[in-house]
Amino acid sequence: MFDLAWSELLLVAVLAIVFVGPKDLPKLMRSAGQFAAKMRAMAREFQTAFDDIARESELDELRKQVAELRDGAMKPLTDVEQSIRQAAITAPDPIVEPADSEQTVPAESGKP
């Protein structure tokens, strides 16, 4: 983790015993452990708060996208409906051809 070799850890332990003393060393280690636990708890709380903010931000963005899709999906239908109404209003009356008129189609000759 800190990239310390066993010899370096042994040196730190010897220096701690010399400067702090064997009597107060357990108290110092306990205080260091409690401090490390508090720092981990603070880091975990910060990470949780950061994740909550990110999740809320993503939800807001997702809500905006859904609203845009909903509005965008309805707009083409409204446009088509308006186009059909406009075409029905402006279209001329269909021309009705008499039923007795025949269209003549030239017969093909069987010769090549």
For 11-68, the pLDDT digits (tens) are 888 888 888 888 988 998 899 899 999 999 999 999 999 888 888 888 888 888 888 8
Residue type, 54: A
Q: Three-state SS for 10?
A: helix
pLDDT for 77-93, tens place per residue? 677 777 787 777 776 66
Higher-pLDDT residue of 8 and 96 is 8
Q: How far is CA 49 from the centre of its chain?
A: 18
Count the residues in the chain.
Answer: 112
> What is the pLDDT at residue 91?
61
